[in-house]
Amino acid sequence: MPQKDRIRAAAARWWRRDRGLYLALAALALAQLVLRGVMYWPAAAHFAVRYLVRPYHRAMGWLCSFLPFSAAELCWAVLIVFCIWYVVRTVLLLIYPPEEKPVGKGSGEATQEKTTGTGSAGTLPEMSMEQGSGKVQPEKPAGEEDGKIPPEKPLKKATDIPPQSAARRLSRGAVLWRRVLGGVITALAVYTGYTVLWGLVYYGPSFEQQAGIEARPVSVDELEYTMRWFRDRINETAPLVDHTASGVLTGDTDAIFRAAGPLYDALEEAYPFLGSSAVRPKQMVFSRVMSWINFTGFFFPFTGEANLNVDSPECLLPATIAHELAHVRGIAPEQTANFVAILACDTSGDVLYAYSGYLLGYIHLSNALYSASYELWLEVAQGLCETANEDLRANNAYWRQFDSPVSEAADSAYSGFLQSYDQELGSKSYGAVVDLLVAYYGPSGA
C-alpha cells in the first residue's frame, strides 16, 4: 500500500475511534469564537452581563450564603483531586493498555467474514449430485474419501505471530493521545464556563460609566494632595481601632466578617447599580496556600462567592473583604474593584473598615508618589502615625516570607489571564487605582 494511503487509512481509523472527542473540541472552540464576538459587540455584552450573568451571580451567591463553608473552596479541592486521579489513571493505562475495540467499517467486515461460511472468499462449499439418489450432497474435501482423515494443518511459525509488544506500543500511543485530548477538552470547558460567567463582565457597563467618575492622568501635586488626605484620615481613625499586636486589629476575625453585612448600604444608595443579594464573605480553610501563591482572596463566579485569605495580617482584611464584595457586585477590573472597596469602607460608618480602607488607599498613593517625587513622598510619609507604620511593617514582613519563584509564577500567570480579557496592565492594573482615587478625593474631586 502506498504511504499516502496508509496515512489516510490511519487518519480515518483515529477519527472513528475518537470522533466524540474531536466533535467536543470543535464545539468548545466554536463557543470561544462566539464569546469573543459577544465581547467586542458592546450591546450584546451589556445585555448578557445585565440579564444573564449578574442574575446568575445573585442567585448562586444567595444560595451559597446558607452554607457554613466555602463551596468555591470545595470545588477547587474536587478539581485538584480529579486532576491527580486523571494523571494516575493515565499512567496506569499506559502501563496496562486496554484492548482496542473494533470500530466503524473494520468491525462490520470482521463480523461479515465470520458469518459467510468457510470458503476462502465467503462462498458456499461446492455441491455434487449423488448418482441414482437425486439428492444433492456436499462434495467431500480431499483426503476424506475411503475413510481417510485429512492431515492436520501445519502449525504457524513463531515469526508469523505478531508480537504483543508491537500492538501494545500502538495502543499506548492511542491511549496517550486520547487522555491528552480529554484533558485539553476538560480545561477548555472550564475556561469557557469561566468566560461566560466572568470574562464577559470585563466588557459590560463599567463602574466609571455608570457612576460618572472619569480616571485621568494626574499631576505630582494632585498625587501629593490626595496622599496627604489619606494620611490624615488614617491618623484620625487609628486611635479608634483596637490593636492586639502589630498588624492585628482586634484578633476577632469572625467579628470582622460579621460587620461586612451593611458594608455597602450607603454606597448602594448613592449608586443603585451596585445592589446585590445578601452575599456572606467566606473564610478559606487553606488560606496559607493562598499566601504561597500571593493571593489575599478571590471571587468564584461559578458559585457567586467572595473567598478570603484569613492567614494574612488583619490590618488589610476589611479592605480585602470590601474588594471581593465589589467583584460580587459586578466590578471586574482590579483597579476599579480596589477603588470601590476603598469608597465602601469610607462610607460604611464602621471605623475598623474605614481605617483599613484608608490604609489600602494610602499604600497605592504612597507607591505612586515615591516613584514620582521622593522628596514629597518623604515629607508626607513622615507624618504618618506610628500605629499605622507598625501595621504596614507587619504586612510587609508577612508577605516577604512568601517571595519565591512559586509566587512570581502565580503572579505572571494571573497577569497573562487578565491580559486575555484586554486588561493591558495585567495584575499591575492594581496601581491604576491611583487615578480614580485622585479623581474622587483629589483637589478637583467630588
What is the rounded distance in angstroms from the CA atom of residue 302 to the CA atom of residue 48? 16
What is the rounded distance in angstroms from the CA atom of residue 311 to the CA atom of residue 294? 12
What is the per-residue pLDDT across 321-377, written as a single tens digit (0 to 9) for each? 999 999 999 999 998 999 999 999 999 999 999 999 999 999 999 999 998 999 999
Mean pLDDT of the 415-422 span: 51
Report pLDDT for 88.
97
Clarify whether residues 176 and 215 are in a common domain: no
Clarify whether residues 229 and 333 are in a common domain: yes
User: Does 104 score more than 80 pLDDT?
Assistant: no
Lowest mean pLDDT among 75-79, 381-385, 430-434: 430-434
The dihedrals phi and psi of 298, each to the nearest 5 degrees, come to -160, 150
**Sequence-ordered list of residues with C-beta below 8 angstroms from that of 408, at least 6 positions apart, any chain:** none
Instruction: Count up the domains in the chain and report the number.
Output: 2
For residue 303, count other CB atoms closer than 10 A to its CB: 22
Task: Determine, yes or no, domain membership for 154.
Answer: no
Task: Determine, yes or no, domain membership for 125.
Answer: no
Clarify whether residues 241 and 286 are in a common domain: yes
Residue the block writes with cell 492511542: 174
Report pLDDT for 174.
83
What is the per-residue pLDDT across 176-202, written as a single tens digit (0 to 9) for each? 999 999 999 999 999 999 999 999 999
Residue 179 sits in which domain range? 3-101+164-202
Task: Determine, yes or no, domain membership for 58.
Answer: yes
User: Does 421 score more than 70 pLDDT?
Assistant: no
Q: Calculate ∠ Cα 419-61-414, nearest 5°.
A: 20
Clarify whether residues 75 and 197 are in a common domain: yes
Q: What is the mean pLDDT of the chain?
A: 82
Task: Determine, yes or no, domain membership for 17.
Answer: yes
Confidence of residue 240 (pLDDT cuts 50, 70, 90): very high
Confidence of residue 214 (pLDDT cuts 50, 70, 90): confident
Clarify whether residues 174 and 280 are in a common domain: no
Task: Determine, yes or no, domain membership for 68.
Answer: yes
What is the rounded distance in angstroms from the CA atom of residue 211 to the CA atom of residue 208? 5
What is the per-residue pLDDT across 15-71, written as a single tens digit (0 to 9) for each? 888 899 999 999 999 999 999 999 999 999 999 999 999 999 999 999 999 999 999
What is the rounded distance in angstroms from the CA atom of residue 264 to the CA atom of residue 343? 9
Inter-CA distances, 375 with 136, 226, 229, 382, Å: 117, 16, 17, 11
Conformational region of residue 146, where left means phi above 0, alpha means psi within -120 to 50, and beta covers everything else: left
Clarify whether residues 187 and 301 are in a common domain: no
Report pLDDT for 321.
97
Report pLDDT for 203.
93
Clarify whether residues 324 and 278 are in a common domain: yes
Mean pLDDT of the 220-228 span: 95
Task: Determine, yes or no, domain membership for 144.
Answer: no
- Residue with more model confidence, 261 or 98: 261
Inter-CA distances, 331 with 177, 251, 291, 365, 366, Å: 40, 30, 23, 21, 24
What is the per-residue pLDDT across 5-15, written as a single tens digit (0 to 9) for each? 777 777 787 78
Clarify whether residues 253 and 197 are in a common domain: no
The single-letter code of the amino acid at 176 is L
Inter-CA distances, 62 with 186, 328, 357, Å: 28, 11, 26
User: Does 139 score more than 60 pLDDT?
Assistant: no
| Cα 358 to chain centroid, rounded | 31
Clarify whether residues 78 and 179 are in a common domain: yes
Of 202, 222, 256, the residue at which a domain comes to its end is 202
Task: Determine, yes or no, domain membership for 135.
Answer: no
Confidence of residue 73 (pLDDT cuts 50, 70, 90): very high
